[in-house]
Amino acid sequence: MKILVIGGGGREHALVWKLKQSSLVEKIWCAPGNGGIVEDAECVAVDSGDVAALVALAEKIAPDLTVVGPELPLVNGISDAFARRNWPIVGPTRQAAQLEGSKIFSKEFLLRHNIPTAKMYGAYSSSQDACAALQTVDWPLVIKADGLCGGKGVTLAPSEEAAREFLESVMEKHELGLGGQRVLLEETLEGEELSFILLTDGQRYAPMVPSRDHKRVFDGNKGPNTGGMGAYSSDDLLPAALRERVISTIVEPTLNGLATEGIPYQGFLYIGLMLTADGPKVLEFNCRLGDPEAQAIVARMDFDLAEVLADAAAIRLNPLRLRWKKGASVCVVLTSGGYPGKFETGKHIDGLTSIRDNIGVEVFQAGTRLETNSLVTSGGRVLGVTAAGPSLEEALTLAYRAAEKIHFDGIHYRKDIGAHSGRVKAAGD
Ligand code: AMP
């Protein structure tokens, strides 16, 4: 099998690493890839959001299967373009990807199908209307810009003043671009967050192991939101009774709702949950694997990912094939100093060779590039040190021991990945 993977972050490195282990796989390309993926796949410099360029690439290399990592190509319609040509691809159509591409679409979908979620106060296309509605809401208030905003589109406003400020920045100053043309106001939920991700071929589905990510930049969930500072997976995150409840009140109504609305969904579906005192409720949908959760999830896969993904693309997914390593896994993200604000790049990365043979540890690369044979930083999230072990404690020990051996100027990482953070009080924690 020849496979094209689209994307260039830690998630895509983890996917490429796992796909490469399959005896069915002969060749992997990655567009655009990064300084680490280049060791496992042929990287092609194509922008992952550019559907026309990706179609042209696929025309040339004729992959047997294409796997899409990030949301942008999906929201831009890559699966539709591939389906028209009968090219196998894992990822939902543009319409189905609206579950992530439009917060208002996804909220209205949840309400139509009586799936537990935060109460919606309203959806607005002018800041005047949204500001007028502030008189009728409870505080704190969650405000969501409707479209893709690179993780910056949600805020938890403690007061009317903070809400007005956010509304002005997204709806009048357009600081988040087109994503902020409409907004959704909703109730703030309290509880612990959990990522429930599944793979579906539109008829059958297979859940991934449960995971949780850490979005704030500093220990104790302090500081600004990031694309993800780390994640962990352990079966204890989702006891059997809770799992049953999530499946019967959320997963199956969602998949059935999509089917009854004539929106076939094929690919990974990420369901972000808040485990509230009233039971699990949906915070968000993503139309792809989360990152860094994907790195922790891949570390627990005990099956042939290439075979399973080819089956999903061909609508013959066999959920029994997905077997998982018992125990736990973690991913600790090493970032450039200053991230998610301003940071410098081009810093030399040392120490990777010293941990190359550490059993149970893989370092997935995200913001890296090769510069005359030396690896340097090229982004905010640089590396994902990922480890699996028989218990969460053992996985954490392996990952942190490896992380300590890696150096680059300004390196920063959280020391409390996997620690229970208590009740989550702020958006993005
Ligand atoms: P979203 O972009 O919808 O995924 O939201 C990003 C993050 O904001 C989620 O992972 C939660 O941490 C937080 N969040 C979203 N909606 C709510 C809500 N209704 N109550 C509390 N936190 C929320």
Lowest mean pLDDT of 205-219, 367-381, 409-423, name the range.
409-423
Specify the residue for token string 């218990």: 391
Which atom of ligand 1 is least distant from the CA of 286?
4
Is 272's C-beta closer than 6 angstroms to any atom of ligand 1? yes
Is any ligand 1 atom within 6 A of the Cβ of residue 200?
A: no
Contacts for 368 with CB less than 8 Å, ≥ 6 apart: 34, 35, 36, 349, 375, 376, 377, 378, 379, 382, 383
Check residue 197 and report its DSSP letter: E
**Count of beta carbons in the 10 Å neighbourhood of residue 95:** 18
Q: What pLDDT is recorded for position 373?
A: 84
Round the average pLDDT of the chain to a whole number and report it. Answer: 96
Whether residue 427 has its Cβ less than 6 Å from ligand 1: yes
Going from the C-alpha of 44 to that of each of 87, 280, 423, the distances in angstroms are 19, 41, 43
pLDDT at position 421, please? 44
Please compute the mean of the pLDDT values over residues 320-324 and round it to a whole number. 98
Q: Whose CA is nearest to atom 9 of ligand 1?
A: 428
Query: Residue 142 pLDDT more than 90?
Result: yes
pLDDT confidence band for 357 (50 / 70 / 90): confident
157 C-beta closer than 6 A to ligand 1: no
Can you give the pTM of this predicted structure?
Answer: 0.96
Confidence of residue 425 (pLDDT cuts 50, 70, 90): very low
Atom of ligand 1 nearest to the CA of 283: 16
Question: What's residue 129's pLDDT?
Answer: 97
The confidence score (pLDDT) of residue 151 equals 81
Least confident of 99-103, 256-260, 353-357: 353-357
Nearest CA to ligand 1 atom 5: 154
Q: Is there an atom of ligand 1 within 6 Å of 118 CB?
A: yes
Q: What is the pLDDT of residues 190-216, one digit of tens each?
A: 999 999 999 999 999 999 999 999 999
Summarize the confidence of residues 73-82 as an average pLDDT: 98
CB–CB of 281/118 below 8 Å? yes
Average pLDDT over every residue of 321-331 = 98
pLDDT at position 427 is 41
CA distances (Å), origin 271, targets 134, 175, 429: 28, 27, 16
Question: What do you get for the CA distance between the two ends of the chain, in Å?
Answer: 40
pLDDT in tens, 41-69: 999 999 999 999 999 999 999 999 999 99
Say if residue 422's pLDDT is above 50.
no
